[in-house]
Each structure stands twice: as structure tokens, then as C-alpha cells.
Amino acid sequence: MCELFCVQATCQRQYKQNEVDGPISPSESTGNTVTDIVSPGKRSEMMSGIRAKDTKPEMRVRKALFSRGYRYRLHRRDLPGTPDIILAGRRVAIFVHGCFWHGHVGCNLAKVPSTRTDFWKRKFELNQQRDEAAISALLAAGWRVLVVWECFVRAAKTEQVLETALSSWLESASSTGTLQSIP
């Protein structure tokens, strides 16, 4: 059984074999503690540093891009930070960040857990630093970088809202962009 704070490689493998969890649904994200947001299995995955792929927000972003005629590649490991989505011809890298795990500052979905607060704060800081370093490296290599936060995708009630926001940035000349929904 994978304990909450277990980060052993053997434990990761054990968990992956037993993985049965689906994506997080918005209805689960109630209350002020993260206990209610993620299932024990999902927490184990997060704690063990396994990157969540094919999450619901990411799937919606992919679908929106495809609808507008953009073609992309996924999870290019040879690029800094392994961007979730790459538009190679346009030299664009897109990250779809889960607000909790990436410590989205000021976001309702990124509340620090009420237990082991210092541990979690440190975790989030490290993830934020890693994200920033990846973006800097991509920009330095001539890539444009867009960060799409989970809260923005959730707040986009129609696919058209998402598609318009994505294509507006893609067709702009901005080297960086952030799509987020902060109250």
C-alpha cells in the first residue's frame, strides 16, 4: 500500500500497476483542504513525482487547438520541462498546469493543505522554480511559451471561449502568455 508521503521508486511502480483513478472532476474540488480534491491514488501519484498526463484540462486544450486547425505533438522529453503540447512549426510550447500541484499563486484550486503546511509550501516552491527554469530555457532557445492554468480551462464554459483564447495568443506576437482564472 502506498503511503501518503512515500516517494520510493518501488512504490511508484506498485502504484502505477494498480492505477484505477480517472481524471479529477470539478465537483470533487470543494472544501478548503486538498483531502477532498484528489483521491488517495491520485495523491500517491502526485507525491511520487509522476507527472500527470492526459488530464481533463489538457485534453480540452488539445481538442480546442485541433478544432482551430492547429496540429501538435505531445510531451517532448527532449525540451526543457517536457512541454505538454508543442506546435513545432510555430516553435510554440504549451504547458497545461494543474493549479494545485504547480502552486498557482492566488488561485482557489491551489490552497495549501492544512496539515504539513511547510512541507507542501516547499514542494510547491520547488515546482514553481522548476517551471520558471523550463520556461526561461525555452525562451532562450527561441520558443514561445504559453501556460494554460487548469482554473482557466474549468472557467471556460464553452469550447469556443477556450478556442478563442488559445488562437488569440497563438496568432499574436507575444513570446509568453498566461491563461488563468484568478478571482
Residues that bind Zn ion (CB under 5 A): 99, 104, 107, 109, 149, 151
DSSP3 helix / strand / coil % (the chain, rounded to 5):
45, 10, 45
- How far apart CA 48 and CA 173 sit, in angstroms, is 38
167 backbone φψ class: left, alpha, beta (φ>0; ψ -120 to 50):
alpha
Least Å distance, CB 61 to Zn ion, is 14
Least Å distance, CB 3 to Zn ion, is 28
Short-list 133, 167, 127, CA closest to 148: 167
For Zn ion, the closer of residues 109 and 145 by Cβ is: 109
Least Å distance, CB 95 to Zn ion, is 13
For Zn ion, the closer of residues 15 and 100 by Cβ is: 100
For Zn ion, the closer of residues 87 and 166 by Cβ is: 166
